[in-house]
Amino acid sequence: MTVTAQLVKKLRDRTGSGMLDCKKALEVTEGNIEEAITWLREKGITKAAKKYDRIAAEGLVGLITKGDKTVIFEINSETDFVTKNKQFLDLMATVGEALITHEPKTVEEALKIVVNSEPLETVIVHAIATIGEKITLRRFKTLHLKADQSMGVYLHSNNRIATVLIFNGKIDETIGKQLAMHVSAMRPQFISRDDISAYFLNSEKTILTAEAKNDPKNAGKPDNILAKMAEGRLNKQLAEISFLDQVFVVNPDQKIGDVIKTNNVTVVDMIRYEVGEGIEKAEIYFASEVMAQVRK
């Protein structure tokens, strides 16, 4: 019997399993939906699929470097306990190797990578069925070093925070790691003030000026004084979110910009991953939007 797309969709709708798993189940059972459902359950795939509606905000981040290539990636789970599981750690290694070898552009492309005769998506589904929690490949980025570039990398000991810095010019490996460690600890949002949009600057200045005017302590102060106060607060805020303006955690007597200048390099890319950042907020917002649509 020919397995049609409509039949695959019908099985997928009933089980929540992946398209490829549904197709394989139907091929094995010669198109019998009920037998296909049983086959999926026996393989643990239906059980795994049901876990996809849960929020997975725990997990680990990974860093892999081979030659001039580095991959930073995040895999999420539901609990921190699972991240100590050998199967989860093996999955991290498998995913990292697949990403750095095949260099996919998107998560969707990554899930189609064939690993040991199976798509990576199926490998993850099998891990879900075995481990018993929702597991997702959330994000990744592949970086290529040019001949005149160098890198600073830092992976925190709990494997929950990772940072990669790319420099034009050659930087000492130890200093590069210290700078990456600084980014992990201090969470700068921008490399420099030049990267901050005019819209953000104007918006923040407007807010800070209004706050200054509404502060009873500033009653009667002229507008030019209030504007200077707002400017001062803005500069302080920018110093906190701009990497080059921050005070170096390793040596508080130096600013990051001074360290960069001393080492004759410039920062061209800064990537910081922290496990779960923004996930719960995003998923709760998505769920509320879906419920709003359902009620209409």
Residue that has been written with the tokens 């419920």 in this structure: 291
- Evaluate whether the domain defined by 55-144 bears CATH number 3.40.1380.20: no
Strands 58-66 and 118-119: unpaired
Output 7 or 53, whichever has higher pLDDT.
Answer: 7
Using an 8 Å Cβ cutoff, are 167 and 265 in contact? Answer: yes
Using an 8 Å Cβ cutoff, are 137 and 113 in contact? Answer: no
Q: What share of the chain is helix, strand, coil (3-state, %, to 5)?
A: 55, 20, 25
User: Does the pLDDT at position 285 exceed 60?
Assistant: no
User: Does the pLDDT at position 287 exceed 70?
Assistant: no
> pLDDT-based confidence at 187, cuts 50/70/90?
very high
Q: What's the pLDDT at 56?
A: 66
Amino acid letter for position 244: L
3-state secondary structure 196-260: CCHHHHHHHHHHHHHHHHHCHHHCCCCHHHHHHHHHHHHHHHHHHHEHHHCECCCCCCCEHHHHH
Residue 192, SS3 per DSSP:
coil
Q: Can you tell me the distance from the alpha carbon of 31 to that of 3, in angstroms, rounded to the nearest whole number?
A: 6
> For the CA atoms of the chain, what is the radius of gyration?
25
Residue 195, SS3 per DSSP:
helix
Q: Could you give the percent of the chain with pLDDT greater than 70?
A: 89
Output 237 or 248, whichever has higher pLDDT.
Answer: 248
Instruction: Give me the CATH code for the 5-53 domain, please.
Output: 1.10.8.10
> pLDDT-based confidence at 261, cuts 50/70/90?
very high
Q: Where are the domains of the chain?
A: 5-53, 55-144
Output 278 or 234, whichever has higher pLDDT.
Answer: 234
Contacts of residue 68, defined as CB under 8 A and 6 or more positions apart, other chains included, come to 144, 145, 146
Per the document, the length of the chain is 296
* Residue 189 per-residue DSSP state: S
Q: What's the pLDDT at 289?
A: 43
Amino acid letter for position 99: L
Q: Order of strands across the sheet with 161-168?
A: 149-155, 161-168, 266-274
